[in-house]
Amino acid sequence: MDSTMLPTLPPPAGRAWVNQAVLALEADTARSADTHLHRIGLPAHWGIELYLKDESTHRSGSLKHRLAKSLFLYGLVNGWITEGTTIVESSSGSTAVSEAYFARLLGLPFVAVVAATTSEQKIDLIRELGGTCHLIQDAAAVDAEARRLAAETGGHYMDQFTYAERATDWRGNNNIAESIFSQLELEPHPVPAWVVAGAGTGGTSATLGRYIRYHQHESRLAVGDPEGSAFLPAWTAWNDGGDPLAVTGAPSRIEGIGRPLPEPSFVPSVIDLVQTVPDGASVAAMRHLSGWAGLHAGPSTGTNMWQIWRLVAQMRAAGQQGSVVSLICDGAERYAGSHYDAAWLERAGIDTTPYEGVIEAFLADGDWVEP
């Protein structure tokens, strides 16, 4: 027998199903229009344009729709997800909802490991998309429990906090950054002075920052961080030559962003500015956006908005014209019983009083006075 001849090999196990799964994900994207980029009117004499990309219009209702698809593709092409694989995630928020959507699309079982204190509204959203919620008492143990459950079932732990920054192709391929810059091409200032994002996993800010640098844009990237979150200390530590993973913070009251510990997907080196946004300011800005622009968003969008107003004020003070762009992360309907509810805010200790009226005054006279 000729030793140079290849032996007859059986077809790759499971590859046909994986091929169909990848095709199903891409077909779902092809059926979907891109999310709208709203231009929000500011006083014309300011010479500053404000844009908000509405990620709440995705089929699963949030910015995490993009991440969930990327995580599934990453798991498929790495051979971690095959036919019948149980998908496990440690999330009770938008990521779990979006992953439940894609798991159902592929016919895979999905389990979200959530704290027992998670609201019934959030649990219902996951269940409506075919997911199962595995409740545990210790909120700090959700990651460990998700790993254990995935091992026990022979499933795959998606681990959004580790893989968010690498699952998305930051060079382009219809990621959030490419979509933003493409939609801005015909605008007066197509390359924004600032791009503003929050940080939950850190994946979105990593994609935006890398894309900006890869395409040699002059844009700068700012992150608004909730009270007590570890991302600002991590970014500060990196800038000071320290270890960004050595810092600690507190749990966030703004769902979807802010963490008690910096996550592996947070890349401080691609971010130009991180500032704390008080939780009361986030809620006040969220409410203002709803009444002023008719855009009904969640509290993480409010965090983005407060950071935007700071930067717009800074641009005005410097006599700088240009554009600022950010994201509507999810819709208001998920927070009717929390951040839009006065009794819930009081129980949570979030006081919006000092921040009410600040934005209206700024838009009226151009003076930014932060409490």
Average pLDDT of the chain? Answer: 94
Contact between 187 and 49 under an 8 Å Cβ cutoff? The reply is yes
Domains 33-58+171-365 and 63-164 share a fold: yes
**What pLDDT does residue 112 have?**
96
Q: Which residues contact 76 (CB under 8 A, 6 or more apart)?
A: 18, 21, 22, 25
**What pLDDT does residue 168 have?**
87
Q: Is the pTM of this model over 0.85?
A: yes
* Amino acid at site 357: G
Query: Of 87, 124, 90, which is closest to residue 109 (Cα–Cα)?
Result: 87
Residue with tokens 């998606």: 158
% of the chain at pLDDT higher than 70? 97
**What pLDDT does residue 2 have?**
60
User: Which residues pair with residue 114 across a beta bridge?
Assistant: 135
CATH 3.40.640.10 fits 63-164, yes or no: no
Q: Which residues contact 227 (CB under 8 A, 6 or more apart)?
A: 250, 252, 253, 258, 276, 277, 278, 279
Q: How many helices (H) and strands (E) does the chain have?
A: 13, 10
**What pLDDT does residue 3 have?**
59
Tokens of 120: 């019934």
Rounded Cα distance, 242 and 237, in Å: 5
Q: Where are the beta strands (DSSP E) in the chain?
A: 37-40, 48-54, 87-89, 110-115, 132-136, 156-157, 194-197, 220-226, 273-277, 322-328
**What pLDDT does residue 65 have?**
95
> What would the pLDDT profile of 215-259 be if each residue is shown by its tens digit?
999 999 999 999 999 999 999 999 999 999 999 999 899 998 999
CATH number (1.10.10.10, 3.30.565.10, 3.40.50.300, 3.40.50.1100) of 33-58+171-365 reads 3.40.50.1100
List of the chain residues with pLDDT < 70? 1-4, 9-11, 92
**What pLDDT does residue 137 have?**
86
Question: What residue segments make up the domains of the chain, in order of their start?
Answer: 33-58+171-365, 63-164
Give the largest CA-CA distance in the chain.
Answer: 88
**What pLDDT does residue 356 have?**
94
